[in-house]
Structure 1
Amino acid sequence: MALTELLLHPQILAKAQKGLDDVIPASSAIVSEADISKLKYLVAIVKETLRKHPPAPLMVPRESTAECKRIQCGRGTHDVWLWPAILPGYEIGNDFILANLLYKLNWRTTDGKEVDVGFTLMRARPLALVPLLRK
């Protein structure tokens, strides 16, 4: 969804790519995980995308059946947003993937039409993109 949102907002895409160009040396083939902490704007894009389009399986209310040791919650706790906190690598992985998709590539739709933004799990039509080298 982040790439879809960026295609709908080309000025934000350009700013994200400029941020990548400012932080990552031109000689680098890819963005490393160590670079992600320096890419504040890109991290914000991923967080905003997850806020606007939360993964549906994580939205299903769940109930704790036992005391939790890792995070503070009592038995019977109902909290939709509790469970994404258990997946700290989830956000980092998205940042890393998006950074590498934007670093060396520009994107356009295969048919020149605007992308649609539907429900997170279903789109009105599949997202078909063509990667174009940036550098």
Structure 2
Amino acid sequence: MDVFAAGTDTTSTNLEWAISELLRHPYAMKKLQQEAREIGQGRTMITEDDLDRMPYLRAILKETLRLHPPFPLLVPHESTHDVKLLGYDIAAGTQVMINAWAIGRDSSTWIEPNEFQPERFLNSPISYQGFHFELIPFGAGRRGCPAILFSMVINELVLANLVYKFDLALANGECLDMSETTGLTAHKKYPILVVATPCFDL
């Protein structure tokens, strides 16, 4: 049950944040739609085989995870031996909380850290897997999330097909509030109501 809940809740949360950011940034939405439609070429859907040819899609999702990691404090860890880190003495057995949200908005690492700029991940070696510690929404190392590849393929497929098949817009009078909830998973505080208009030329 834990695995099922963790996999569905974080995935849907990530997609909601990604769609929200795309609605806030129409230039990014248009660029992603162009990429999807060039790859799809009128077929009924974008498949997993197409994803490697969609760098902007991956950049959108990396930037979304940087700004809105679904699990902002990651899973607690425990130090196995005494260690000195950045001048702090951490005793063996200390429970350590990793703040992925703060790491993703660290101004010493990111230029304009609070701005949604997917282009920062184009031609960048930074991956979802946490090999570069600037972006660790799934944790890193042997204690990282075991479902990274599965969840990101699902996120990429869903978002790619949504923007490929539909034009997305906020419903009339809908306000796009980007406030977050508090809790283990950082959901949007106020859900969005989106109108999806089919692209009839597909």
Could you say which structure has the higher helix fraction?
1
SS in 1 for 2:65: helix
* Range with bigger deviation, 86-95 or 6-15: 86-95
Q: Indicate the RMSD between aligned Cα atoms, in angstroms.
A: 2.5
State the alpha-carbon separation in 1 of the partners of residues 73 and 157 from structure 2.
21
Structure 2: tracts of 5 or more residues without a match: 1-16, 81-92, 99-138, 181-185
- The answer (yes or no) to whether the contact 2:39–2:46 under 8 Å persists in 1 is no
The change in CA–CA distance for 1:64 and 1:25 in structure 2 (over 3 A counts) is farther
Per-residue CA deviation, residues 77-125 of structure 1 (Å, 9 max, x unaligned), is 95742255532212221111100111010111223434221223142x2
The reply on whether 1:100 has 2:161 as its aligned counterpart is yes
| Bigger mean CA offset, 45-54 vs 76-85 | 76-85
Residues 107 and 130 of structure 1 are in contact (CA less than 8 Å); yes or no, is this contact kept in structure 2? yes
Residue identity matched to 1:116: D
2:57 and 2:160 in contact (8 A); partners too: yes
Could you tell me which of 11, 14, 22 is aligned with 1:6? 22
Counterpart among 172, 176, 192 of residue 115 in structure 1: 176
How far is 1:25 from its partner?
1.8
Q: TM-score scaled to structure 2, two decimals?
A: 0.54
- Counterpart among 108, 132, 135 of residue 197 in structure 2: 132
Q: Percent identity?
A: 33
Equivalent position amino acid for 2:19 in 1? L
Does residue 31 (structure 1) correspond to residue 46 (structure 2)? The answer is yes
SS of 2:77 mapped into structure 1: coil
Distance 1:84 1:111 in 2: 41
CA distance in 2, matches of 1:38, 1:59: 30
User: 1:8 Cα shift?
Assistant: 0.1
Amino acid of the structure 2 residue aligned with 1:121: H
Structure 1: gaps spanning 5 or more residues: 66-75
